[in-house]
């Protein structure tokens, strides 16, 4: 299996349980790796792979419209998009809130799922 990765994607999203988190979107950093069919590279055909530009646009659009209490739920939602809509056979995601606690650069979750 071949893989595509998207690293360091910054997204403004509504996520959190605290009032300050519900008042305004937070910047999240998303790293995403997903499996793609081997024949895409063999045939040099974009139609046989997952278009990462479409993935990025879809994630940004969804996160602009929804609120999640937990990063875990947000992560599972994105993985569901990848597995169901984009038909990825395997997905790994890490999502981090940036500068959320004093003296801490990032706090986040990492989730891995397959079909």
Tokens of 30: 């998303």
Contact present, 29 and 82 (Cβ < 8 Å): no
Mean pLDDT of the chain: 94
**Overall pTM > 0.75:** yes
Tokens of 34: 């997903």
Closest CA relative to residue 114, chosen from 31, 33, 29, 4:
33
pLDDT at residue number 93:
98
Tens digit of each residue's pLDDT (9 = 90 or more) over 53-88:
999 999 999 999 999 999 999 999 999 999 999 999
For residue 25, give the 3-state DSSP assignment: coil
Band (pLDDT 50/70/90 cuts) for residue 29 is: very high
Q: Which domain holds residue 61?
A: 2-114
The CATH code of the domain that includes 46 is 3.30.1130.10
Closest CA relative to residue 90, chosen from 106, 112, 68, 105:
112
Residues with Cβ within 8 Å of residue 62, at least 6 apart in sequence: 77, 78, 81
Between 60 and 21, residue with greater pLDDT: 60
**How many domains is the chain partitioned into structurally?**
1
Between 27 and 20, residue with greater pLDDT: 27
């Amino acid at each position: 299996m071949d893989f595509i990765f998207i690293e360091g994607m910054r997204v403004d999203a509504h996520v959190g349980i605290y009032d300050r988190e519900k008042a305004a979107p937070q910047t999240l950093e998303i790293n995403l790796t997903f499996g793609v069919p081997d024949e895409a590279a063999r045939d040099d055909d974009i139609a046989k792979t997952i278009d990462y530009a479409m993935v990025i646009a879809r994630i940004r659009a969804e996160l602009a419209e929804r609120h999640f209490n937990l990063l875990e739920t947000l992560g599972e939602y994105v993985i569901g998009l990848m597995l169901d809509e984009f038909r990825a056979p395997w997905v790994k995601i890490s999502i981090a809130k940036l500068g959320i606690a004093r003296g801490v650069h990032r706090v986040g979750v990492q989730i891995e799922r397959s079909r």
